[in-house]
Structure 1
Amino acid sequence: MSENSAFFSVRDIHAYYGESYIVQGVSFDVEEGEIVALLGRNGAGKTSTLRALARVDDPQLTKGEIYLNGEAVHEMKSYQAAQAGIQLVPEDRRIIGGLTVEENLILSQVSEPKGWEIEKIYDHFPRLGERRNQEATTMSGGEQQMLAVARALARDVKILFLDEPYEGLAPVIVEEIERILMEVRKLGITTIIVEQNAVAALQLADKALILDMGKIAFRGTAKEVLDDQELRHEYLAI
C-alpha cells in the first residue's frame, strides 16, 4: 500500500524504449474524478509516460512506483492493470476490423470486471447505437474515437488514459468527445489526456502537467497555463 493518500500517485518513474531514456523521473498525484492535461512539445515523452502508467510492454518501466487507490500498479502486467481499472485509449484507437460496433463492445466485456452495459453506452453515445450493426472500421474517425472511449467504459474503469483523442477530428466531433468526458467526470472517473491541441485540453482539464525532455517542467492548474502566455510559449509553442 502507498503511504500517499492521493487516488492516483506516481513516484519517480523512469522508462526506456530500448536504449533510449524517455521518461526521466516523473512524479505527480491525481485526485479521484479530476481531468488532467498532460502536455508538452513533440518528443517530450507524453505518450511514453502514458503507456508506462498503463503498464504496456513499451516503454519498459525500470524504476519508480505507481499506485491506484493504494494498489501497486508498478508491480502489475498490462492485463492486471486493466483489471484494476486502468484503461488506455491509444492514439491509433485499436478498433478491431471485421467486427461491428456492437461486437467490438461485446468483446471488451469478455473478461471481468465489466463496466457499463451495452444499452447504457448507446444512451450516452447515440451515434454508436445508430451504427451498432455497422462494421466499426468503416465509420468516420470521430465515430471510431467514440467507440474507443465507449469500449473503455464497457470495462470497470477507474482511471481513463486518452492519447491524442482529438487528432484529425472535426471541431463538432471534438465538442461531442468533450461532452462525453464531462459526463465521465460526473461519474467520478479520473481522466488523463495527452493532447497536441493544448488549449482544448486545458479548457476541459482541472490540472495540467507539462513535460519537457522526459521530465515534469510544470505542475499546477489548467487555468494557470491558460493565463501564462510565457509558459505556453516556452513549453507548448502556443
Structure 2
Amino acid sequence: MNAPFNKHANNAATHPAYLSVWDIHAYYGESYIVQGVSFDIREGEILALLGRNGAGKTSTLRTIARLDNPTLTKGEIWLDHQPLHKMRSHDASANGIALVPEDRRIIPGLTVEENLKLAQIAPPIGWSIDRVYDLFPRLGERRKQDGITLSGGEQQMLAIARALCRDIKVLLLDEPYEGLAPVIVQEIAKTLGIIRDQGITTVIVEQNAVAALKLADRAVILDTGSVVFDGSAMEVLENEKLRAEYLAI
C-alpha cells in the first residue's frame, strides 16, 4: 500500500513549520536506521509518530534531540528557524528541545521536588515548581517522596514535569503510556492536552497507537526507517487497511 505523503524539498528558510525535519538519515553503528525521514509540525500541534517495532521511531526522536546515537549523516532539522542539525544535545536542549525517554530517567536518591529543582539548576528555566504541582497535584502530594519509589504513572508525570521545568518549545515523548493502566493513560493524555493548550509542540512515539491517535492532531507512520504516511490522526483512525498494514491494529 502506498499511502500519500508530501516529501519536503526545501529547508526552514522558506518553511512555515515550527519544527521541520527534512530528509534525515541516521545510523546506529553500521545499521541504517533512519532513511530519509521528513515531516513538519506546527506550533502547539501534537504529532503521533507511529510504526511497528524497529521502524525507526525512537531513533528519529533521538536524532531530533541531537543525542550522540544514532549519528545524523544527512538532512536538516529546524526549530523556530534554528538549525538543530548543527547542534549537540546540550545546545538543542538550551534551544527548547526536551526528550522524555522510555525509561524516564528518574534520579535515584532524590525526592520528587529535588528532581524538579535539579532541572532548574541552569537556565533557561521554564515553569515554576508550584505551576507544575498545579498541573500534577499528585506530585505535589508526594513532593518529599523518593522519585524512584513512585508508581509507573507517577514517574511518567514526574518525567514530564521535569521537562516542563525547562523553557521548552518541543516535548518529545518516547512510549509515555508503556505499562500504565488505562485510567492512568487517560489522565496523562488529558494532561498532555493541557500542555498543548499552553502552546508546547509535542511528538509522541507510542505502541498504544489508538490512544496516541485520539490525542494527536496529525500522524506520521514509519516503516523500515521511511515515512509511509503523513496526514491527520483521524484519517488513520478511520482507515482500517492502513492500520492493519503498518500498525497491526
The CA deviation at 1:31 is 0.2
Between the aligned partners of 2:239 and 2:95, the Cα distance in structure 1 is: 37
Partner residue of 2:178 out of 167, 171, 177 = 167
Given that 1:2 and 1:71 are in contact with CA atoms closer than 8 Å, whether structure 2 keeps it comes out as no
Q: How much is the aligned-residue C-alpha RMSD, in angstroms?
A: 0.6
The CA deviation at 1:96 is 0.2
Counterpart in the other structure of 2:188: 177
Partner residue of 1:56 out of 60, 67, 75 = 67
Q: How many residues align?
A: 238
Matched, 1:7 2:18: yes
Between the aligned partners of 2:76 and 2:209, the Cα distance in structure 1 is: 27
Between the aligned partners of 1:90 and 1:2, the Cα distance in structure 2 is: 30
Amino acid aligned to 1:184: I
Partner residue of 1:39 out of 22, 39, 50 = 50
Matched, 1:148 2:159: yes
The CA deviation at 1:3 is 2.3
Between the aligned partners of 1:110 and 1:3, the Cα distance in structure 2 is: 36
Given that 1:2 and 1:67 are in contact with CA atoms closer than 8 Å, whether structure 2 keeps it comes out as no
Partner residue of 1:66 out of 67, 77, 81 = 77
The CA deviation at 1:2 is 2.5
Given that 1:89 and 1:152 are in contact with CA atoms closer than 8 Å, whether structure 2 keeps it comes out as yes
With 74-83 and 2-11 compared, the bigger mean Cα shift is at 2-11
Partner residue of 1:97 out of 78, 85, 108 = 108
For structure 1, list consecutive stretches of 5 or more residues without a partner in the other structure. none
Between the aligned partners of 1:228 and 1:41, the Cα distance in structure 2 is: 17
Amino acid aligned to 1:5: P
Q: Give 4+ residue runs of structure 1 displaced > 3 Å after superposition.
A: none
Amino acid aligned to 2:174: D
The CA deviation at 1:44 is 0.4
Counterpart in the other structure of 1:208: 219
TM-score, with length taken from structure 2: 0.95
Given that 1:166 and 1:174 are in contact with CA atoms closer than 8 Å, whether structure 2 keeps it comes out as yes
Counterpart in the other structure of 1:192: 203
Deviations 1:158-189 (A, max 9, x none): 00000000000011111111111000010010
Between the aligned partners of 1:197 and 1:2, the Cα distance in structure 2 is: 35
Given that 1:113 and 1:156 are in contact with CA atoms closer than 8 Å, whether structure 2 keeps it comes out as yes
Deviations 1:32-83 (A, max 9, x none): 0000000000110100011001101110111100000000000011000000
The CA deviation at 1:124 is 0.7
Partner residue of 1:129 out of 140, 148, 151 = 140
SS of alignment partner, residue 202 of structure 1: helix
Matched, 1:217 2:228: yes
Partner residue of 1:117 out of 128, 133, 138 = 128
Given that 1:83 and 1:113 are in contact with CA atoms closer than 8 Å, whether structure 2 keeps it comes out as yes
The CA deviation at 1:235 is 0.2
